[in-house]
C-alpha cells in the first residue's frame, strides 16, 4: 500500500493522509479514479456524441465499426464539437465569476452591499480611463464604469473592450481570422448553437469560434474579474505565508475556504479576526481562529492577506481527513461532491454558500452581498461552536508546511523593476533570463499529485527560465519551497543572479486561475515595449496536470494570444487526426502558436526550452 500511495503524490503530507484514509476505510478521489479503470476509450479519444437523442453515437477508431454518427457526423466533426462545448463551459465559469464580481462592485457603489468598499481607487480610475469614462462627481464615474463592464458581457456591437490591451499586431491577426470577440456571453451562446445538431459541421470553422470564445474569456471576463477584485479587495503585493496541510492548527478553530470567488472568503477572513469571534473561540476552549484556503479561493486570500493555503485541488478531501477542520466553506468550481459524505464521517461542517451550487450532505448557508458581513459572522460562529465536537483521538495533521512569498501582481512586478519592464527585458536580452514560462492549471489523478507541476518548474528554472504561476500549480510550487527567495539556489546562474538582486523567488506567484489575465498583461507590455507581437517573444505556457473545462478555455486563449503551450494530460481529441493536426500544427500558421502534449515533465521542459531558444534566435538574441 505504501508503494502504491507513493505513485499517487510526491507531496509527503498527501501521502501521509492517503495512508490514514485507507486505514480508516475512507474513499478519496484516487480510489474512485482506480475504480474507473479502464476508462472509456471512446470518451478519451473524444469520438462519442450525445448532442441529440438519435444517439449516443460513437466512431470506431479502428475502422471495423461505424465511421459516422446517425446524422452523418464524422469523427472530425464530433471531436471539434465536443471541444467547443468544453471551451464554452470553461468560459462560462469565468464569465459568471466575473459578472458576480462586477455586480458586487456596482452594489457597493450604490450602497446596497455595505460590507464592501473600494480599496484601490487608482486602479479604478485607470480602468475607467480604458472605458473612456472621465466624469466622476459623487462616484458617478465609478457607477458608469460598473455599467460599462456589464455591457461587455452582452455587447452586440464592436469588440470586448479589454482586448485593446493586446498588442496591435495580435489584434490584427484576430481581426483577419474573424475571431475578435464581440460579447462575452454572445460567444458562449454561439458555441452552444453551433454544436446543436445540424448547425456547424466544419472542424476548422468550429475551432475558430472556440478561439474567439476563449479570447473573450482571457482578454474579457477573466481580466475583468482580476481588475474588479483588485479594486474591491486590494491589488496584491509581495507578502510571506505558508502552504500545505501543516498550516492547520490543533489548538484553534480551523476554517477552510474553498472554491474560486473571493467575494465570500474576504468576508470570512474579516469575520474570523473579529475580537468578538476570537473571544467566542476561546470560550469554547480554542486558542483562536485559523482560516486556511484550498484551490483558487485560497490563492485569492493568500496573495492579499497572507492567509495560509492548506492545499490544492486533490487535497480537499485530505484536509477533512485530518479531523481538525471545523468548517469547510465552499462557493463554486472544483468542489468535489464527495465532501458532504466525507465530512459526515467527522465533525466537520460542510457549508455550501452559493445560490448556484448545492452539494449532497451540505449545510446550506446561502450568501448574499447585501448581508455579507452578517452571513460571514454566522458561518464563523457555526465553525467556532463546532470546535468542542472535535474528536481529538482522530486528529492527524501532517507536519509538512513550507514558507512562500506570494502576491506578484503586474503592479508589484513593475514596482520591483523600478516602474518599467525594461530591466526584465534587459535580463532577457543579455541572456540572464532565457525566457518566461507560465505554468498553471489543476491537479489530475491521472498524474502523480504535483509530480508534473514541481518537476517541470524545477527543470525550467534550472535552465534560467523565469516561471510565473497561478492556480493549483502555484500551490504545488509553494509546498515544494519554490516560492521562497532562497529557491534561487535551484536556478541557473543567470536567473539566480537576477532573483538575488531583487530579493524574489525564481517562481512568481501571480494569483488564481482568472489571474492568468495578469500574465497576458505582462506579455503584452513586453511585446509593446519591443514593438513585436506576443508570438515573437521567448515565452511559453504549460498546464502539466490540467483536468477542468476552464483549463481548455484558458489553453485556447493562451495559444490564441500567440503563446506555445504544452499540456501534460491528453485532451479528448486524438480520435480526429484533423483536429489534432489543427491544434498541434495548423494553428501555428494562423495565430503563431500551437499546442503540444507531453505527459513527462522532463521532456515537456525540453520542448519549452527549445521553443524559447528558437524565439531568441529569431530575435537575434544569443542562445
Q: How confident is the model at residue 514 (pLDDT cuts 50, 70, 90)?
A: very high
pLDDT, position 139: 52
Q: Is residue 49 within 8 Å of residue 70, measured between CB atoms?
A: no
Q: d(Cα 436, Cα 595) in Å, to the nearest integer?
A: 17
Q: d(Cα 453, Cα 301) in Å, to the nearest integer?
A: 22
CATH number for 245-394 (one of 3.40.50.150, 3.55.50.30, 3.40.50.2030, 3.40.140.10): it is: 3.40.50.2030
In this predicted structure, the answer to whether residue 491 has a pLDDT above a threshold of 90 is: yes
Three cell numbers, residue 503: 530579493
DSSP string for residues in 230-283: HHHH-----EEEEESGGGS-TTSEEEEEEES-HHHHHHHHHHHT-HHHHHHHHH
Write down the domain spans for the chain. Answer: 75-233, 245-394, 404-618
- Residue-wise pLDDT tens digits, 209-265: 999 999 999 999 999 999 999 999 999 999 999 999 999 999 999 999 999 999 999
Residues forming beta bridges with residue 403, ordered by sequence position: 242
Residues forming beta bridges with residue 330, ordered by sequence position: 258, 352
Q: d(Cα 248, Cα 398) in Å, to the nearest integer?
A: 9
pLDDT, position 6: 54
Mean per-residue pLDDT of the chain: 96
In this predicted structure, the answer to whether residue 518 has a pLDDT above a threshold of 50 is: yes
Instruction: Convert 564-597 to b/e letters by CB count within 10 Å (16 or more is b).
Output: bbbbbbebbbbbbebbbebbeeebeebbbbbbbb
Q: d(Cα 43, Cα 30) in Å, to the nearest integer?
A: 20
Distances (CA, A) of 55 to 61, 73, 148: 17, 11, 43
Residues forming beta bridges with residue 327, ordered by sequence position: 255, 349
Strand, helix or coil at 411?
helix
**What phi and psi values does residue 15 have, to the nearest 5 degrees?**
-60, -45
Q: Is 244 left (phi over 0), alpha (psi -120 to 50) or beta?
A: left
Q: Is residue 124 within 8 Å of residue 235, measured between CB atoms?
A: no
In this predicted structure, the answer to whether residue 508 has a pLDDT above a threshold of 60 is: yes
Q: Is residue 166 within 8 Å of residue 219, measured between CB atoms?
A: yes
Average pLDDT over residues 117-139: 84
- Residue-wise pLDDT tens digits, 333-357: 999 999 999 999 999 999 999 999 9
Sign of the torsion angle spanned by Cα atoms 225, 447, 563, 154: negative
Q: d(Cα 441, Cα 601) in Å, to the nearest integer?
A: 14
User: How many CA within 13 A on the CB side of residue 194?
Assistant: 28
Binding region for [4Fe-4S] cluster? 40, 48-49, 52, 57, 71
Q: d(Cα 430, Cα 623) in Å, to the nearest integer?
A: 10
Q: d(Cα 4, Cα 33) in Å, to the nearest integer?
A: 13
- Residue-wise pLDDT tens digits, 57-114: 999 998 888 899 999 999 999 999 999 999 999 999 999 999 999 999 999 999 999 9
- Residue-wise pLDDT tens digits, 382-401: 999 999 999 999 999 999 99
pLDDT, position 140: 62
In this predicted structure, the answer to whether residue 5 has a pLDDT above a threshold of 50 is: no
Q: Is there a shared CATH topology between the 245-394 domain and the 404-618 domain?
A: yes
Q: Strands, E, within 304-460: which ranges?
A: 309-311, 327-330, 349-352, 363-364, 402-406, 435-439
**What phi and psi values does residue 436 have, to the nearest 5 degrees?**
-125, 135
| Cα-to-chain-centroid distance, residue 401 | 22
Q: Which residues contact 520 (CB under 8 A, 6 or more apart)?
A: 165, 166, 218, 219, 223, 558, 561
- What class is the 404-618 domain? alpha beta
DSSP conformational letter for 583: I
Q: Is 289 left (phi over 0), alpha (psi -120 to 50) or beta?
A: beta
pLDDT, position 137: 47
pTM of the model: 0.96
Q: Any idea which fold 75-233 has?
A: Substrate Binding Domain Of Dnak; Chain:A; Domain 2 (1.20.1270)
Distances (CA, A) of 185 to 161, 355, 424, 515: 14, 20, 36, 20
Q: d(Cα 128, Cα 145) in Å, to the nearest integer?
A: 6
Q: How confident is the model at residue 1 (pLDDT cuts 50, 70, 90)?
A: very low
Torsion of CA 583, 589, 590, 594, to 10 degrees: 30
Q: Is residue 120 within 8 Å of residue 234, measured between CB atoms?
A: yes
**Percentage of the residues of the chain whose pLDDT score is greater than 70:** 98
Strand, helix or coil at 530?
helix
Binding region for [Ni-4Fe-4S] cluster? 260, 296, 334, 442, 472, 513
Average pLDDT over residues 177-194: 98
**Angle in degrees, CA 84, 90, 92, rounded to 5:** 100
Q: What is the CA radius of gyration of the chain?
A: 24
Q: Is 352 exposed, middle or buried (0-12, 13-18, 19+ CB in 10 A)?
A: buried
**Angle in degrees, CA 617, 621, 623, rounded to 5:** 70
Amino acid at each position: 500500500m505504501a508503494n502504491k500511495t507513493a505513485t499517487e503524490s510526491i507531496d509527503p503530507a498527501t501521502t501521509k493522509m492517503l495512508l490514514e484514509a485507507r486505514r480508516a476505510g475512507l474513499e478519496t478521489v484516487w480510489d474512485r479514479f482506480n475504480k474507473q479503470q479502464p476508462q472509456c476509450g471512446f470518451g478519451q479519444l473524444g469520438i462519442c456524441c450525445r448532442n441529440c437523442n438519435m444517439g449516443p453515437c460513437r466512431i470506431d477508431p479502428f475502422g471495423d465499426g461505424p465511421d459516422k454518427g446517425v446524422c452523418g457526423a464524422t469523427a472530425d466533426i464530433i471531436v471539434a464539437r465536443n471541444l467547443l462545448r468544453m471551451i464554452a463551459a470553461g468560459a462560462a465559469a469565468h464569465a459568471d465569476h466575473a459578472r458576480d464580481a462586477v455586480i458586487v462592485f456596482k452594489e457597493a457603489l450604490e450602497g446596497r452591499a455595505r460590507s464592501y468598499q473600494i480599496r484601490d481607487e487608482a486602479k479604478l480610475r485607470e480602468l475607467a480611463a480604458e472605458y473612456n469614462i472621465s466624469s466622476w462627481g459623487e462616484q458617478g464615474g465609478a457607477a458608469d464604469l460598473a455599467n460599462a463592464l456589464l455591457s461587455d458581457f452582452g455587447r452586440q456591437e464592436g469588440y470586448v473592450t479589454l482586448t485593446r490591451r493586446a498588442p496591435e499586431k495580435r489584434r490584427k491577426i484576430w481581426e483577419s481570422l474573424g475571431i475578435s470577440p464581440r460579447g462575452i456571453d454572445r460567444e458562449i451562446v454561439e458555441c452552444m448553437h453551433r454544436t446543436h445538431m445540424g448547425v456547424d459541421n466544419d472542424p476548422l470553422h468550429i475551432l475558430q469560434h472556440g478561439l474567439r470564445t476563449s479570447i473573450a474569456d482571457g482578454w474579457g471576463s477573466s481580466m475583468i474579474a482580476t481588475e474588479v477584485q483588485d479594486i474591491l479587495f486590494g491589488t496584491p503585493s509581495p507578502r510571506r505565508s505558508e502552504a500545505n496541510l501543516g498550516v492547520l492548527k490543533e489548538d484553534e478553530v480551523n476554517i477552510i475556504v474553498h472554491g474560486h470567488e473571493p467575494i465570500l472568503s474576504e468576508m470570512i477572513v474579516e469575520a474570523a479576526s473579529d475580537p468578538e469571534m476570537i473571544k467566542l473561540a476561546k470560550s469554547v476552549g480554542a486558542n483562536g481562529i485559523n482560516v486556511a484556503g484550498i484551490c483558487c479561493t485560497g490563492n485569492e486570500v493568500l496573495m492579499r492577506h497572507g492567509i495560509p493555503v492548506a492545499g490544492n485541488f486533490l487535497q480537499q478531501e485530505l484536509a477533512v481527513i485530518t479531523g481538525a477542520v471545523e468548517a469547510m466553506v465552499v462557493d463554486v468550481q472544483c468542489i468535489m461532491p464527495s465532501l458532504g459524505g466525507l465530512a459526515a464521517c467527522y465533525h466537520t461542517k460542510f457549508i455550501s454558500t452559493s445560490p448556484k451550487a448545492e452539494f449532497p450532505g451540505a449545510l446550506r448557508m446561502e450568501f448574499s452581498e447585501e448581508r455579507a458581513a452578517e452571513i460571514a459572522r454566522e458561518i464563523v460562529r457555526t465553525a467556532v461552536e463546532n470546535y468542542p465536537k472535535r474528536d481529538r483521538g482522530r486528529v492527524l495533521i501532517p507536519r509538512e508546511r513550507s514558507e512562500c512569498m506570494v502576491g506578484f501582481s503586474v503592479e508589484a512586478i513593475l514596482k520591483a523593476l523600478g516602474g518599467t519592464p525594461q530591466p526584465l527585458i534587459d535580463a532577457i536580452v543579455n541572456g540572464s533570463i532565457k525566457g518566461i514560462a507560465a505554468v498553471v492549471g489543476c491537479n489530475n489523478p491521472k498524474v502523480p499529485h504535483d509530480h508534473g507541476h514541481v518537476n517541470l518548474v524545477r527543470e525550467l528554472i534550472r535552465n534560467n527560465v523565469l516561471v510565473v504561476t497561478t492556480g493549483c500549480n502555484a500551490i504545488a510550487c509553494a509546498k515544494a519551497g519554490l516560492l521562497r527567495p532562497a529557491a534561487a539556489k535551484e536556478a541557473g546562474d543567470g536567473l539566480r543572479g537576477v532573483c538575488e538582486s531583487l530579493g524574489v523567488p525564481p517562481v512568481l506567484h501571480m494569483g488564481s486561475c482568472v489571474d492568468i489575465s495578469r500574465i497576458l498583461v505582462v506579455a503584452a507590455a513586453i511585446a509593446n515595449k519591443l514593438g513585436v507581437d506576443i508570438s515573437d517573444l521567448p515565452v511559453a505556457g504549460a498546464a502539466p496536470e490540467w483536468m477542468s473545462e476552464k483549463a481548455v478555455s484558458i489553453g485556447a486563449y493562451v495559444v490564441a494570444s500567440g503563446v506555445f503551450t504544452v499540456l501534460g494530460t491528453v485532451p479528448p481529441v486524438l480520435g480526429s487526426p484533423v483536429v489534432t493536426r489543427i491544434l498541434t500544427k495548423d494553428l501555428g500558421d494562423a495565430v503563431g502558436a500551437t499546442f503540444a502534449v507531453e505527459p513527462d515533465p522532463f521532456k515537456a521542459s525540453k520542448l519549452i526550452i527549445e521553443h524559447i531558444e528558437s524565439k531568441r534566435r529569431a530575435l537575434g538574441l544569443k542562445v
